[in-house]
Structure 1
Amino acid sequence: MENKKSTIYRAIRKVILHVQKRERSVSTAELEESWRRIEKQIYAAKKKKRHQRLLYVATYSSAAAILLCMFWLGKQFISHYHADDNSLADFALRMQADPLQEDILLLIPGEKNIEVSDTDANIIYSQNGIVVVNSDTVNQIQAQKKEPEFNQLITPKGKRTQLTLSDGTHLWVNSGTRVIYPTHFEKEHREIYVEGEVFLDVYRNEKAPFIVRTKDFQVQVLGTSFNVSAYSLEKTSSVVLVKGSVNIKNHNRQQVKLTPGQLVNIHSNQLDAPQNVDVEPYICWIKNILMYTDDPLDKVFRKLNLYYGKEFVLDPEVESMQVSGKLDLKDKLEDVLHTISYSAPIEYKEVGDKIYVRKK
């Protein structure tokens, strides 16, 4: 812009100097012609300036439009990704389970709820959309819908379930656990949501990684066996790897990769460093066994609360007692409590729907 001004000023100065030199001999006609040339140069400069201004405006407008388009597309992409990324979690928050529920409950969109009163259930989803519960065909689902619909399996305290998903992945679902999953998986995307505890034997598919989401973290695998414990009332969650490889990531994008025989604890949305462990005590629950080594009785009775659905009230001096042993969870609760009393100086008494445990 400064260059345009200086050009105009130079033209005016040139004419004025020319006039000054010929001041005494210049005619009125020559003077008018000189001023016309000045006006012509000024007009040309202004026209060029307007053209450049329009060019600048057009350029800036185009750039703004492109940026706006990119922003809109980016927003749409991010929103779409965000929706896909959190749809399971959003669904889980909306569809809270009834804590007083006693039967195993299978919820299939658009279908009648399926209740299983047995202690154990075996649910199988086949690739052609058939759902079988304890050897009974209960539903025929259209497997080729445009959008996958979420099913919900709720296993209350005192019950256990085995679940086979449509891709062949097998889950052992512990007591007090919710699992949310689609009727069928997309070709390159397999994802479920867990609240509670599950042991998974994931069908290997390198083109479609398998993701287990929880409230605080996610586990990504291709094909492997591992245990996820993420009860909402427990302060610490954990992942134990039996075979294969898993990658755990929290909301802060902190990541930990496990090798077989390793455990990682998650608390306050933070991932601890992996540690080598004997995996058997962490996965023996799928065989209806509870193993514990120098664990406080408070922890043992919290497990029994899940397995048997009974509420235990422990005296403070009993909670911190450390015990080691093995319990067969197929036994009656009375026999299990009798076994514990052999390794710890405790006595118990059932009053109403609660069992009170105190030191002898």
Structure 2
Amino acid sequence: MKDIEKKLLNNFQEKDKTLLKKRIMSSVERYKRKRKIKRLYWAAAIAVLIIVSGAVYKNAQRFDDSYVKLLETTKVGTIKEVQLVLSDDVLTVSKSDSIIVYNNSDNMVLIGNSKTAKNSAIVMNTVVVPYGRHTQLKLADGTHIWLNAGSKLVYPSSFSGDKRIVYLEGEAAFDVAHDKQHPFTVKAKNHEIEVLGTVFNVSCYSDEKAVTTALESGSVRINYESGNILNTKKSVTITPGTIASYNKDEKQVSTKEGNVSNYFLWRKGLIVFKNDDMEYILKRLSRYYNVPIEVRNKDRFQQTFSGYLDLKTNIEEVLNIISESSTFTYTKQENNIIIE
């Protein structure tokens, strides 16, 4: 009898063990399934986020690229007068008609004191300034812009939405109409400057190594593409009396305090250089006078120059001033300057 009871007890324990094992395995399988479902859920969520972010980035990039193409349509070296490109017309702005004014109430564009043109509402316009010229324009919001030689600006005929955005290649001085609800942004390649209302100068020529921003009043925030692996954007805010320089190769911004008024003197035909290399100076002179300058034996031409130049005189007089403190000579062949 005892043997039978012992056997039954053992059988019961085995069944109990088997049942317990099944329950444990079932719980483990359910736990694994839940973890797998969670992993799939988060993977799907991340994938959707990446797709949406990519779509937003591509749309923003496409938005920017469309206006970058406008900047590239007209070459500054192929024209002799300032050109205003409207939605359906191209107007020439002569020297006597150097100010372009937008009237927001009736979509009219006033060129100087005589010429007017009807502009379609909220379309992109372009001003192209050839070498040897500079011009002014007043946007529909009241912002005043001075454009230097060899510059192009793309902007809307009338601002809409929550931002005021313009696209610049070259150099311009801005006196931005204050509007706290609608920040004003100047965009260049890998670089943008955001303001509410202020006075500043931006130099972002494609053939120069840096984008320079000089702030006279107000406050600006500079957003730029950094040089890290993810190519993320960084920002720096500068105050009046500050000069910010964005190195295009290193993708970094450096700031310093200085006499920012010197950066606005080109509007009066004056330039101040401070320890600037001759390559930079000659590029500026070439744009301003619309005269090609060829430098021979550049390896020996590593000097810097500091001084004040009055560009209202002819280029020969300016080069004579520079050569007095340097070791070069030059010759003029037809419309070209050859630096020996």
Instruction: State if a TM-score over 0.5 links the two structures.
Output: yes
Amino acid at match of 1:352: E
The partner residue of 2:276 within 295, 298, 307 is 295
Question: Structure 2: how far apart are the matches of 1:340 and 1:96?
Answer: 36
Q: CA deviation at 1:119?
A: 8.2
Whether 1:246 aligns to 2:220 is: yes
Deviation sequence 1:263-314 (CA, Å, 0-9, x none): 1211226232321122122221122101112322222111101101111122
Distance 1:119 1:79, change over 3 A: farther
Q: Hey, what does 1:90 align to over in structure 2? A: 66
Corresponding residue SS for 2:99:
strand
The answer as to whether partners of 2:97 and 2:111 remain within 8 angstroms in 1 is: no
Q: TM-score, normalised by structure 1?
A: 0.73
Whether 1:265 aligns to 2:245 is: yes
1:144-223 equivalences under 5 Å are 148-223=122-197
Q: CA deviation at 1:117?
A: 4.1
Whether 1:284 aligns to 2:265 is: yes
The answer as to whether partners of 1:151 and 1:183 remain within 8 angstroms in 2 is: yes
Specify every segment of 5 or more residues in structure 2 that has no aligned partner in the other structure, as ranges.
1-36, 226-231
Question: Structure 2: how far apart are the matches of 1:119 and 1:304?
Answer: 23
Q: Hey, what does 1:34 align to over in structure 2? A: none
Q: TM-score, normalised by structure 2?
A: 0.77
Q: CA deviation at 1:75?
A: 6.1
Q: CA deviation at 1:319?
A: 2.8
Corresponding residue SS for 2:202:
strand
Question: Structure 1: how far apart are the matches of 2:131 and 2:260?
Answer: 24
Q: Hey, what does 1:116 align to over in structure 2? A: 93
Question: Structure 1: how far apart are the matches of 2:188 and 2:96?
Answer: 25
Question: Structure 2: how far apart are the matches of 1:269 and 1:88?
Answer: 22
The answer as to whether partners of 2:211 and 2:245 remain within 8 angstroms in 1 is: yes
Distance 1:120 1:291, change over 3 A: farther
- Decide which structure has the larger Cα Rg and report it: 1
Distance 1:119 1:332, change over 3 A: farther
Distance 1:224 1:86, change over 3 A: farther
The answer as to whether partners of 2:87 and 2:119 remain within 8 angstroms in 1 is: no
Deviation sequence 1:192-226 (CA, Å, 0-9, x none): 00011111111000000001100120111000111
1:59-98 equivalences under 5 Å are 71=48, 79=55, 82-84=58-60, 86-93=62-69, 95-98=72-75
Q: CA deviation at 1:335?
A: 2.5
Q: Hey, what does 2:313 align to over in structure 1? A: 331
Amino acid at match of 1:354: N
The answer as to whether partners of 1:298 and 1:318 remain within 8 angstroms in 2 is: no
Q: Hey, what does 2:102 align to over in structure 1? A: 125
The partner residue of 1:255 within 229, 235, 238 is 235
Question: Structure 2: how far apart are the matches of 1:187 and 1:96?
Answer: 26
Corresponding residue SS for 1:240:
strand
The answer as to whether partners of 2:323 and 2:329 remain within 8 angstroms in 1 is: yes
The partner residue of 1:306 within 280, 287, 290 is 287
Distance 1:233 1:199, change over 3 A: same
Q: CA deviation at 1:317?
A: 6.4
The answer as to whether partners of 2:126 and 2:155 remain within 8 angstroms in 1 is: yes
Identity %: 28
Distance 1:192 1:238, change over 3 A: same
The answer as to whether partners of 1:160 and 1:174 remain within 8 angstroms in 2 is: yes
Distance 1:119 1:139, change over 3 A: closer
Q: CA deviation at 1:79?
A: 4.0
Question: Structure 2: how far apart are the matches of 1:310 and 1:100?
Answer: 13
The answer as to whether partners of 2:82 and 2:127 remain within 8 angstroms in 1 is: yes
Q: Hey, what does 1:141 align to over in structure 2? A: 119
